[in-house]
Amino acid sequence: MVFSSLVFVSIFLPVTLLASWALRPVWAKNALLLAASLLFYAYGEPVYVFLMIGSAFMNYLWARLIERYRQQARIMLALSVVMNLGILGVYKYAGFLVELWNGCTGTAVPVPRLALPIGISFFTFQAMSYVFDVYRREVASQKNFVHILLYISFFPQLIAGPIVKYHDIDRELAERHQTLNGTAEGFRRFIFGLAKKVLIANIMGAAADACFGAGTLQVNAAVAWIGAASYMLQIYFDFSGYSDMAIGLGWMFGFHFKENFRHPYTAVSVRDFWKRWHISLSGWFKEYLYIPLGGNRKGRVRTCINKFIVFLCTGIWHGANVTFLFWGAYHGFFLMLEEYLPFFKRERKSWGRCVSHIYALMVVLIGFVFFRADTMGQGLFWVREMFTGFHFEPEAMRLCLSLLTPLNITVFAAGIAACLPFGERFREKKAAMVFSWAVSPLLLFLCMLSLAGGTYNPFIYFRF
């Protein structure tokens, strides 16, 4: 089940929300939300719901053992990491690794074809967060398994994040307040996230798919730039829209998740970009990998190595493909470069910020070309066409003109405007609240109309 579906918006959410309001004790609300979350996941993954429950129970036991046997805690932590990454590796990377082995050795080992459980990377990292927090004595191990299972399976953040660290939510699992104001604000945030997804990401996604799915004769510089820019907007509004919906849903039920995006396309460096993009993932890697590796405390060379390792892991986390591995290494390279360039370490005047902003956008844009490409060959071809494809075959021009529709141009312009932070000042004013409440019903109506009449409704991060 996805948030941007009629089943979720018109049936699942209203029923769950009303039932939650009808219950008073927190334990009863937790039981309801757990049942709803398992139903939500089983709606699309009836078999793998047991894998998720098993993962939660395994980490529940590891945390209890770590707290009880402190002298052997490090060994048990290592075993828990191996088991978690082992499960993730079997389902997500086994086929890729076997294919890589066959390609390197010339053997013909049968390639396993396992269906990828939806959201496995997200719920695995959340489960590991709980064990890490118990090991570091930041929280006590939870005796109530229902709390742990709800933390890992809670439907707002289950399938595509944000990744919620256990120490950020453990108190609200035991005690929280569901208020009318929180529910209303959450519903408004949900609608704006839904609008990002349905009214911008879906339209930009259709344009990007038309470009990246075209034959080589249909691609020139214009098509390549349209495809890359469309995908850049699609992935941002797809993922940030989902995060907005997840945060809004959390508010409705009394939970408070941290923000996952802060206008990433206004970044003035790759480092700045990662302070604004998928903050929950970069924060997870920083807290549980980068700092334990030594962070920036052991000299510049070690800092660069640590950053490269983290972003190599970030690429691998996204998927079993050489393109994701390259994407992570690519960002790691620019982060290391910025560590040595003084231009990125000092305050810049307006012209300097402009140059830095263009640099950051270009690095991110080219990175997303490889992120979107099916193969490294396609990614390299696409980048080459962006900068050298000044040819005008009839097939390419027809595709280009077919994409420059009034709807696509309008949505593209609206998407660029929505990426900018000028709305922050406006949102602080009372008029902004009135306007947002006035426009919310219209946005919801347009979203429902689009969902009822369309079939194109992918979520990019579901495959991670």
The pLDDT-based confidence of 83 (bands split at 50, 70, 90) is very high
| Section 332-337 average pLDDT | 94
User: What does the block give as tokens for 20?
Assistant: 């939650």
What are the pLDDT digits (tens) for 221-249? 999 999 999 999 999 999 999 999 999 99
Amino acid identity at 177: H
Query: What's the pLDDT at 5?
Result: 84
- In degrees, rounded to 5, the angle at the alpha carbon of residue 138 between the alpha carbons of residues 135 and 143 is 75
Query: What's the pLDDT at 432?
Result: 62
The pLDDT-based confidence of 202 (bands split at 50, 70, 90) is very high
CA distances to 14, 155, 169, 187, 197 from 240, in Å: 23, 17, 21, 16, 8
Which range among 125-134, 386-395, 418-427 shows the weakest confidence by mean pLDDT?
A: 418-427
Query: What's the pLDDT at 426?
Result: 59
The pLDDT-based confidence of 347 (bands split at 50, 70, 90) is low
Q: What is the mean pLDDT of the chain?
A: 90
121: nearest Cα among 318, 405, 342, 393: 318
* Cα–Cα distance, 371 to 148 (Å, whole number): 33
247: nearest Cα among 310, 316, 169: 169
- More confident of the two residues 447 and 431: 447
* Cα–Cα distance, 359 to 362 (Å, whole number): 5
| Section 382-411 average pLDDT | 93
Check whether 40 has a pLDDT greater than 60. yes
Helix/strand/coil (H/E/C) assignment for every residue in 289-357: HHHHHCCCCCCHHHHHHHHHHHHHHHHHHHCCCHHHHHHHHHHHHHHHHHHHCHHHCCCCCHHHHHHHH
Check whether 403 has a pLDDT greater than 90. yes
* Cα–Cα distance, 287 to 353 (Å, whole number): 29
Percent of the chain whose predicted confidence (pLDDT) is above 90: 68
Amino acid identity at 460: I
Residue 270 is given by DSSP the state H
- More confident of the two residues 211 and 428: 211
Query: What's the pLDDT at 239?
Result: 94
Which range among 94-108, 110-124, 308-322, 449-463 shows the weakest confidence by mean pLDDT?
A: 449-463
The pLDDT-based confidence of 110 (bands split at 50, 70, 90) is confident
The pLDDT-based confidence of 151 (bands split at 50, 70, 90) is very high
Residue 318 among the catalytic residues: yes
User: What does the block give as tokens for 235?
Assistant: 């992935």
- Rounded to the nearest 10 degrees, how much is the dihedral formed by the CA atoms of 229, 233, 235, 238? -160
Catalytic residue among 147, 263, 278, 318: 318
Check whether 348 has a pLDDT greater than 80. no
CB atoms inside a 10 Å sphere around CB 424: 11
Which residue reads 């109309």 in tokens? 449
What are the pLDDT digits (tens) for 265-316? 999 999 999 999 999 999 999 999 999 999 888 888 899 999 999 999 999 9
The pLDDT-based confidence of 431 (bands split at 50, 70, 90) is low
240: nearest Cα among 224, 219, 262, 223: 262
Amino acid identity at 193: G
